[in-house]
Amino acid sequence: MPSTTEITVSQLSRLIGLPNSPTIIDVRADEDFASDPRLIPGSQRRAFGASWAKEYDRQSVVLVCKEGLHLSQGAGALMRQQGIDAQTLEGGYEAWRKSGQLLVRTDNLPQRDEAGRTIWVTRARPKVVRIACPWLIRRFIDTKALFLFVAPSEVRAVANRFKATPFDVADAFWGDRGEKCTFDVMIEELGLDSDALSRLALIVRGADTGRLELTPQSGGLLAAHSDFHGCSATISLSLRQRWRFTTPFIAGAGTHSTKRMPEGLATRRAQAAVFSLRTKHARITTERHA
């Protein structure tokens, strides 16, 4: 039985990818990481000392070392002394790996900036895959990732000047490959090919490529994003708001549950979210002209 300052593999696995997932910090020794340079989804690498602890004030933290012993437990104890809610993963990285949980491949991940973020750039007026990819990155790769949406002609220049990684543009590493869309490529290259995420990738691919016969949900996802795309020039919405009407389709794929949403229900919920956003837009427009 784990102590009150530990979390089990099964407990943590149920939180991965959720908006309220704890911050996961990988404190494995450099030689241990070099022998297996993969990460638990959403985790970030830090040196095992706790000089950086205050950066995680008011956050729930899970610390991971190779076997859940002195490195993670020592760093966790230091963080708790500073008032931070810190737990350690029982059995550490090895227990997670041996249980067959998802592990992120890091060989093609962008370098982080001084603030510890990855920076990505793509074409403006995003819909479907350019919403789904940021969702995937924020939930499974880098919770602090920054996304820049610019004119298509400026993506390369912005990438060079701001050290950003281009995605979903022609000739980019993170771009379409044959029949696979950018979301498929990210799932494959990052090692995130679970059953649920693979189902979601098929939904996104169908909507992004116009092959609506791939899944029953693809047509609804495309319709929802097309409806939003039409009003995006007059109302500015954050990625979090755009994910609001993408989430029903994620639930339809069963990404966070063993029960999949019934066919048609995802589309109806997305339509309701779109209607809500358009109603809000109409109210704002009316107030501006009153």
Give the pair of three-digit tokens for residue 69.
Answer: 């012993």
pLDDT for residue 96: 98
Are 27 and 125 in contact by the 8 Å Cβ rule? The answer is no
pLDDT of residue 275: 46
* pLDDT attached to residue 242: 55
Size (the chain), residues: 290
Helix (H, G, I), strand (E, B) or coil at 143: coil
Given this model, what pLDDT does residue 162 score? 96
Is the overall model pTM greater than 0.75, yes or no? yes
- Tell me where in the chain the CATH 3.40.250.10 domain(s) lie: 6-103
pLDDT given for residue 164 in this prediction: 98
Mean pLDDT per 10-residue interval, the chain, length 290 residues: 87 91 96 97 87 89 97 94 95 97 95 94 92 93 95 97 97 96 97 90 92 88 65 45 54 46 47 46 46
What's the CA gap between 268 and 27, in Å, rounded?
A: 44
CB count within 10 Å of CB 160 equals 11
CATH class for the domain made up of 6-103: alpha beta
* pLDDT at 136 (0 to 100): 94
What tokens were used for 223?
A: 């319709």
228 secondary structure, DSSP code: H
